[in-house]
Amino acid sequence: MRRLRFLYFMGLSLCLSFFIAAEEDVSIVKNDAVPLLGNLNLDVKEETIFDFSKLGSEYNIYYIKDIILDSDENIIVLAGNDILKFDVSGNLFHALKLKRGQGPGEIQQSASRMYRDSMDNIYIKDGFRLVLFDKNMSFKRNIQVGMIDSLSFDDKGFFYAFKTSFSKTGRNKVLTKFDKDGKSFKEITSYDLGQVSGKGGIMVVRSHVYSPATYFILNSDNHLIYAANLKYKLSKYDNEGNLLSTIIVDEKHQRISSKEKDEITEKNRKQEKGTVDFNLDFPAHRPFFKGMLGDEKGRIYLIRLKSIHDEDKNETVDILSKDGRYLYKTKLQYMPKIIRNGSIYFVDYSNKDEYGAPIPRIKRLIIQNYKSIQF
């Protein structure tokens, strides 16, 4: 009887901590600022998958641009202009050195990001185009796409990305659906980031740690989860761009102090040497988060943006369920790149060579209590 009474009150308290309403066929999930299930202590085991000092002189790698997993959980790394594929045990079994030029499979500018589709084809972002390779790294074709970023592919061959456009007020990020040939045919939602300044018709984009940003993920149901980080509000769309639900966490804004603004402005001014007319735009308050990830169960992971004066080196992560309930808050020692099947993948730059240059390591945190995390 006591156990039944405990379970009843637990269920009642969970129901009271979030609220689902409906407005014109769009559900609204409202959460308190405190997660339903409190703080989550992850029981993790850290593994080094590969240490890049072992590659030798053939690959002179100091910075990793991107990592992805294929359907077999092989780790594919874009490092410099090299694509390296490791198995789950960290054995390098396929490599491709991208050459500069105009020929098939060659890059014209610089390989900046990497993506994959449901068939494990690999897409390299090269300026305003995608260079497409199959899973064996054989060149297939080039796809002209314009100014886009943050690609995700559904299981029907369509992909979704932010398309960038400019206006008098600033830089617009438009979440857009594309066909397999890179032609956009559906604009889903847009956001004006501002951040543009200049004189004499010259436009300069100046972003900083507190700049507004937009994020999206494509979950296992082919639903798009979208957010602009100046509000703790997420929007869920189907793959045709129809709004399905809105997710809100009732958390207060944190103002940006004059000291923070001065420090950020001075740091950015030093990076732009010789700039006389220097000015940064700051939002009305600090953004809530700086990244968004999803896992195979549809859970949403929001990496919180902290104050530049916060001395805690850990990353704070909010975990939301597939339907938008704010479940947990947790801490991670590293900035996560991928979360899948109970593992968190990241790049560690803490090791240095004899000259002080970083030696990147691909690492994995195996979450021992992953199965007990609710969704």
Cα torsion angle, 246, 252, 256, 259, sign? negative
Tell me the pLDDT tens digit for each residue of 116-135: 999 999 999 999 999 999 99
Q: How many CB atoms lie within 10 A of CB 152?
A: 18
Is residue 11 included in any domain, yes or no? no
Nearest-angstrom CA–CA distance, 160 and 145: 11
Q: What is the pLDDT of residue 12?
A: 45
Nearest-angstrom CA–CA distance, 319 and 293: 10
Retrieve residue 209's tokens. Answer: 């740690």
User: Quick check: 24 pLDDT over 80?
Assistant: no
Nearest-angstrom CA–CA distance, 145 and 139: 17
Output 237 or 272, whichever has higher pLDDT: 237
- Tell me what the pLDDT averaged over the chain comes to: 88
Rounded to 5°, angle at Cα 320 from 316 and 322: 150
What is the count of structural domains for the chain? 1
Nearest-angstrom CA–CA distance, 251 and 262: 26
Report the pLDDT averaged over residues 317-328.
96
The band of 196, judged by pLDDT with boundaries at 50, 70 and 90, is low
User: Quick check: 324 pLDDT over 80?
Assistant: yes
Buried b (16+ CB within 10 A) or exposed e, 1-29: eeeeeeeeeeeeeeeebbeeeeeeeebeb
Q: Provide the residue type at 228 as one letter.
A: A
CATH number (domain holding residue 61): 2.120.10.30
Is residue 357 included in any domain, yes or no? yes
Is residue 8 included in any domain, yes or no? no
Q: What is the pLDDT of residue 2?
A: 43
Residue ranges making up the domain that contains 318: 25-372
User: Quick check: 4 pLDDT over 90?
Assistant: no
Nearest-angstrom CA–CA distance, 330 and 39: 6
Retrieve residue 214's tokens. Answer: 């937009």
Nearest-angstrom CA–CA distance, 172 and 195: 10
Among 34-43, 190-199, 331-340, 366-375, the range scoring the smallest mean pLDDT is 190-199
Tell me the pLDDT tens digit for each residue of 285-310: 999 999 999 999 999 999 999 999 99
Q: What is the pLDDT of residue 1?
A: 46
Output 110 or 158, whichever has higher pLDDT: 158
Is residue 7 included in any domain, yes or no? no
Is residue 331 included in any domain, yes or no? yes
Q: What is the 3-state secondary structure (H, E, C) of the chain?
A: CHHHHHHHHHHHHHHHHEEEEEECCEEEEEEECCCCCCEECCCEEEEEEEEHHHHCCCCCCCCEEEEEECCCCCEEEEECCEEEEECCCCCEEEEEECCECCCCCCECCCEEEEEECCCCCEEEEECCEEEEECCCCCEEEEEECCCEEEEEECCCCCEEEEEEEECCCCEEEEEEEECCCCCEEEEEEEEECCCEECCCCCCEECCCCCCCCEEEEECCCCCEEEEECCCCEEEEECCCCCEEEEEEEECCCCCCCHHHHHHHHHHHHHHCCCCCCCCCCCCCCCCCEEEEEECCCCCEEEEECCCCCCCCCCEEEEEECCCCCEEEEEEECCCCCEEECCEEEEEECCCECCCCCECCEEEEEEECCHHHCCC
Q: Provide the residue type at 237 as one letter.
A: Y
Nearest-angstrom CA–CA distance, 28 and 157: 30
Q: Provide the residue type at 25 as one letter.
A: D
Length of the chain: 375
Q: What is the pLDDT of residue 109?
A: 85
Is residue 101 included in any domain, yes or no? yes
Report the pLDDT averaged over residues 4-25.
50
Q: What is the pLDDT of residue 3?
A: 44
Q: What is the pLDDT of residue 277?
A: 61
Nearest-angstrom CA–CA distance, 215 and 208: 16
Is residue 269 included in any domain, yes or no? yes
**Residue in this structure with the two tokens 């610089």, named with its chain if needed:** 110
Q: What is the pLDDT of residue 55?
A: 78
**Residue in this structure with the two tokens 């997660």, named with its chain if needed:** 35
The band of 202, judged by pLDDT with boundaries at 50, 70 and 90, is low
Nearest-angstrom CA–CA distance, 33 and 304: 13
Is residue 297 included in any domain, yes or no? yes
Q: Provide the residue type at 202 as one letter.
A: I
Provide the β-strand partners of residue 159.
153, 178
